[in-house]
Chain A
Amino acid sequence: MSNNAELTNILVCGIGGQGVMTASEVLSMAAIQLGFDVKKTEVAGMAQRGGVVTSHVRFGEKVLSPAIPKGEADILVGFEPAEAMRWAKHLKKGGVAMVNTSRIKPPVVNVGLFEYPDNPVEEMRKNGVEVYDFDAGEIARELGEMRLVNTILMGAISEHLPFDAQVLKDIIVERFRQKKPELAELNDKAFEAGRKAAAKSAQSAA
């Protein structure tokens, strides 16, 4: 279809409250800084109550439709493995998925109405998706702050973006310097930890 070849499409998915919107916001900021046109979708209200949350980030010369068509995402960032699996078909051929393997089971699975997939990442690979996976939740715990999952995942995808990883890192760290300076250093560390974890996942897959 059309002019999409020149666009970069990043689909961020997870669950209400995980920080999906913040991730797509910093990605957008980076793209703007580099002079691209950007569109980013938001989710508000009810959907955030533990429901499925996605944010589409598109940037390039000129972005028209705000939603990434199925089969056209370059990168899928999965804050949760079953959610990554749910949106896997949004990736284009040759797209990559970066997946946090910490699972969050919804009440409908909890009460036994539905099964959680045995191995979402394996399912994705079976379907031809190139997946990098690691437990971002565990790294966040080690760093002492669960809310770092976001920055860890940003570090992890930073090598797959059509611009230098440092641009994204600077934006994240600067945001914290402005808003919560005491967390700036820690986010720097988290970003690097994510980067390393992704590289390691690449090796084990190779």
Chain B
Amino acid sequence: MNAIVKAIADSRHLLSGNEALARGVWEAGVQVATAYPGTPSTEILENLALYPDIHAQWSVNEKVSLEVAIGACVVGARSFCAMKHVGVNVASDALMSQTLAGVNGGLVIAVADDVGLSSSQNEQDTRFWGRFAHLPILEPCDSQEAYEMAIRAYELSEKFGIPVIIRMTTRVCHVKGLVTVGERQAYEHKGFLDDPTKWVMVPTHAKELLKKQGSRDVILKAYVNECDLNRVEDGSDKRIGFVTSGPAYLHVKEAFPDAPVFKMGMSYPVPIEAIRAFGETVDKLVVVEETEPLVETELKAAGVAVHGKDILPKTGELSPLILDKPIRELYGENVDDLADPDLPVFPRPPTMCVACPHLSPYYCLSKLHKKIRIAGDIGCYTLGAGHPWKALDTTTCMGASISMALGMTLGASDEDKDKPVVAVIGDSTFLHMGMQPLLDVIYNRGNVTVMLLDNRTTGMTGGQEHAGTGFDIHGNEAPRADFEKIVVALGVNPDRVRRVNPYEMPTMFKAIKEEINQNEPSVIITDQPCVLTTRFKRQNPLKVIDGCTGCANCLSTGCPAIIVTRRETETRKSGKEVEKAYVEIETTACTGCNLCVSTCGPDVIKPVSFLEVAKNVQ
């Protein structure tokens, strides 16, 4: 078991922001914790699940997850919910109403922003939800603060009777630092609060609650200007005073150790009056925030003169080095651009794994791509947009493949109208937000071929269980959603639902070709596990024996275990030049999935064991 679970009060540990936050949530006496995975937030719930006396669960999506947490807080428990930034878009319907109702037991929502897009489809600033939903935002800068603010957030949630958002960023979630921990508090359960005027959001109730929200705003604004989470750190160099929060605070302190700093731990509502007073003590104010100019805009609107995104980058992560030049220019220093370019090296984008069960669907789709449109979704299989397959036309957000595919058939031009549209979606994504779109296809008599790539895990975020894997967050057996039954229940003709073993490439190819030519919706479900899970079983590795003709067919599978040893341009008798690429298979990496065997014209890919057996016989 993870040592931190057993850590005693006042001991110090090297923890990531996610681990530290989880510890704080547990210590706060939380009873129910929920999440849907998403980088960089995933490890928060994975860690909470290790602790005793707390119910931790993966929910099917962020909206459901937040609603479960809300339910628990209504009946008087402290509850918790974690998600990545885009998760709030999904959960926002619940959020925007619950903010009116407020809480009974404390409710804290941790949202992790992927600043710099290490693994996301967009870069979103969660602090705007504070403004939109009239809720406080706490912003830890490191692991110790993540731990402390988790506990503090519950106090605030119950003090003001509202959910509190802890805004994390990648550089908090995924940085380890030393944390001094405490122990679990005994939380006095509040019991169900029986008050329909608070919990039943009908217009008459909501109108009253809207008024309360207004007076709550006034109270929060007064509080934030005096709150000890916001503090001034004095400095001798008064030319610039920095207003900053989150990891940006650390960058400022490192780059300009002598400058006065207004450090925001609670950044929404913006502590405007406290900052105005701080501004009186320095020549100029600079707001350093990731990523959007939220604090800056509010300050300007309140008549406080500040610099911010006029001189600093508007997107991506900040760093001491990024701050250096613009700030020194503001100091009036002459700054030479000493940028020392990196040595040029090829890019190394993420790739699908050796023997990934997604390889064969994409091999087939890439061969058919001229004749079809392919709407993609979010997961490891989004890599199908890259080399060598280039087999995705769109990817927007979770679940959008199927609905966009329907739209693409409906909106097609005259010359395109007979082009089949395929939607590619993963198992976790299908359960997250793919069922409703499929129902929409059925209801509206659409025609889409859905490729449901069931690898029995949430692969992209590191392999979490979900409602379709048969296991829960603790690895205990759980009811397993039956994809075939679900799609039939949604209305897909049972004859048009197929299960295919993706390693049987010819079958895969045939199945796709047949289904795209039907005039009704169809679903092809692959059924082999992700190679990074324990469910995957290695076979004897393969080897290229003498006789490779350099046709490079096998390279189109995209399997990274196939290595080019030699390239050549060959001139055919007809005078036509062809590129040849001779290959070998990296035997230590190969897991013997056999996918490449069916692509090899001369049939020279053989199991290593077979060769050895043959040698012994000789």
Contact = CB atoms under 8 A, between A and B. Distances in A.
Given A45-B118, A65-B251, A106-B351, 13 more contacts: A1-B324, A32-B178, A39-B142, A41-B171, A42-B174, A45-B119, A46-B119, A49-B380, A66-B142, A70-B340, A106-B346, A113-B387, A124-B343
A115 B558 CA distance: 18
B40 interface: yes
A45 B254 contact: no
Nearest to A66: B175
A42 to B, nearest CB: 4
A89 B324 CA distance: 18
B433 interface: no
B349 A66 contact: no
A4 B42 CA distance: 32
A65 B343 contact: no
A29 B14 contact: yes
Contacts of A204: none
A111 B347 CA distance: 13
A205 interface: no
Contacts of A87: 342
Given A4-B254, A66-B250, A88-B343, A49 B351 contact: yes
A107 B388 CA distance: 8
Interface residues of B, number: 57
Contacts of A67: 171, 319
Interface of B: 14, 16, 39-40, 42-43, 118-119, 142, 171, 174-178, 247, 250-251, 253-257, 319-321, 324, 340-343, 345-353, 380, 383, 387-388, 460-462, 555, 558, 560, 562-564, 567, 579, 581, 588
Contacts of A112: 564, 567, 579, 581
Contact of A47 (B176, B350, B563, B588): B350
A173 B174 CA distance: 26
Interface string A142-156: 000010000000000
Contacts of B588: 146
9 contacts: A39-B177, A44-B174, A45-B461, A66-B142, A67-B171, A83-B348, A110-B560, A111-B387, A124-B343
Contact of B350 (A16, A39, A113, A127): A16
Interface string A27-56: 011001000011111111111111110000
Contacts of A181: none
Nearest to A40: B176
Contacts of B319: 65, 67, 69
B353 A49 contact: yes
A71 B530 CA distance: 40
Given A106-B346, A107-B560, A109-B346, A49 B461 contact: no
Contact of A2 (B254, B342, B380): B254
A82 B555 contact: no
A118 to B, nearest CB: 12
Given A2-B254, A2-B257, A111-B387, A66 B345 contact: no
Contacts of A64: 250-251, 253-254
Contacts of A82: 345-346, 348
A126 to B, nearest CB: 9
A36 B347 CA distance: 35
Interface residues of A, number: 58
Contacts of A70: 321, 340
A105 interface: yes
Closest 10 pairs (CB-CB, A-B): A114-B346, A45-B39, A51-B350, A49-B350, A46-B119, A42-B174, A50-B351, A64-B254, A66-B175, A86-B345
A184 interface: no
B251 A49 contact: no
Task: Select the residue from A64, A71, A89 with max chain B CB neighbours within 10 A.
Answer: A64
Contacts of A41: 171, 174-176
Contacts of A85: 343, 345
A123 B346 CA distance: 14
A172 interface: no
Nearest to B345: A86
B554 to A, nearest CB: 11
B320 A1 contact: yes
Contacts of B383: 49
A146 B589 CA distance: 11
